[in-house]
Amino acid sequence: MSNIYDFQLSYSLVRKYITFTFKRFYGEYIVVGRENIPTDCPVIFAANHTNALMDALAIPSVLPHNMPIVFLARSDLFKNKTAAKILNFVKIMPAFRMRDGVENLGRNNEIFDQCVKILHQNKALGIMPEGNQEIERKLRPLVKGIFRIAFAAQQKYGNQSGVKIVPIGLDFGSIVKSHKHIIINIGKPIEVSDYMNSYITNPVTAMNEIRDRLKNELIQITLNFDTYKYYQCFETATEIGNTAYLNKLQLPDKTVFKFVARQKLADKLVELEKNEPDTIEELDSLCTKYTKALNEINLRNWVLEKAPFNKTALLFDCLFLFATFPFFLYGLILNFMPFFTPVYLRKNVFKTEFSGFFSSLQYMLGIITFPLFYAIQTTLFWAFTDFPIWVSLSFFLSQYPLGKWAVKWNSIAKKTNAKIRFNKLLKTKTHIIEHAQNLRNKIILLIT
């Protein structure tokens, strides 16, 4: 009987397909710190948890293709026998929580023993140390399970280098929509052996020490709005001040550096809340008013940031959209069913309400609907045309790129429309726009 950590050919093929499609689910796939991945020792990858299955898929996407990884997931996912078999195939084991019943907590001992065995085989584990998922960009308290496993496995190596914990910071442009960015920040490995002397003397102290270390490392590579009262204010303020802070730090206008600027800005907001409560109260009031003003004129922050817009440039944008509209229409027709079937099923069949599951469910449905509809459409194309087979093959391969182009065209069209609307609103809603711009300037002045 094979072990869950064995690297079977069938698993390898599925993983390659998953990794290929996962990377294309996002508009930008960015990896930072790939050199920090250990490949010749037992390792636990510990990631922040905001986006359900997508968090778990992000980790193997950066690992060497021949490096298996076993994950722990909440036990209620294993209640269905078919689901349990699928999860076991993709190397996921159940972890039991208090909500699963006190009587089940004892079953974790068996799971933890398996985890130790996996690490002793120089294999990798993936564990979300927060223990649960929330969509807020805020690191939650870390549970002890990951450290119990790490110390239990490290006892084989004593004070010598052995088990490593690698922090993974994940940032998503959107936890709901596809074609946004994903940033995978890989932190430097934490040597569990550094804490073994402390563990032998006082296990509780050692647990707290390594937990604090991992927490601090994760904070360095994630966007952490460490606030309870002003979370919405922090989100709004970092969006408004992102470009200004990017310029202040003299960083290039790229997604990964925008993330860095937002991190620095979030840190400053945390300090303001601690040391200048009156300032953060004022900022909260300004952000609330600014959001209300934007909603009133149905515009987004980036429009005010980039305004005003040159009419000649807008004319060229419109001509470009007009000239490329046939390609958009062609791409839309070919991709309407593959793209929108997962959304329809999520809304009307599965009726998923928690937004943190949206992209995970749509992605899993999409890896079925895309090849299925592309194959059907190619078969129909081949059956009803007299073109040679290589043309049908070219048709099959062209469908997805044309779909990506349709998404891009639609994004450009929406932005162009927003710019045109802004120019029109300057004539009819001048006072609201001026009010919003004044609020925006005050916010930037406060936080920079």
Give the pLDDT score at 103: 58
Angle at 88 (CA atoms; ends 82, 89), nearest 5 degrees: 90
Whether 81 and 101 have beta carbons less than 8 Å apart is answered as no
Give the pLDDT score at 10: 87
Whole-angstrom Cα distance, residue 197 to residue 268?
A: 37
Angle at 311 (CA atoms; ends 305, 317), nearest 5 degrees: 85
Taking alpha carbons only, the member of 143, 170, 13, 2 closest to residue 72 is 143
Give the pLDDT score at 281: 97
- Regions in the chain scoring below 50 on pLDDT: none
Token reading at 418: 């927003």
Maximum CA extent, the chain: 79
In tens, the pLDDT along 79-93 reads: 777 777 878 888 888
Q: Which CATH class is domain 9-221?
A: alpha beta
Taking CA atoms, 424 is separated from 311, 410, 427, in Å, by 11, 21, 6
Token reading at 419: 């710019």
Give the pLDDT score at 372: 96
* Residue 195 DSSP class: G
Instruction: Please tell me the chain's helix, strand, coil percentages from 3-state DSSP, rounded to the nearest 5.
Output: 65, 10, 25
Tokens 């009987």, residue located: 1
Whether 236 and 291 have beta carbons less than 8 Å apart is answered as yes
Tokens 């994630």, residue located: 222
Give the pLDDT score at 101: 56
Asked if omega into 342 is within 30° of 0 (cis), the reply is no
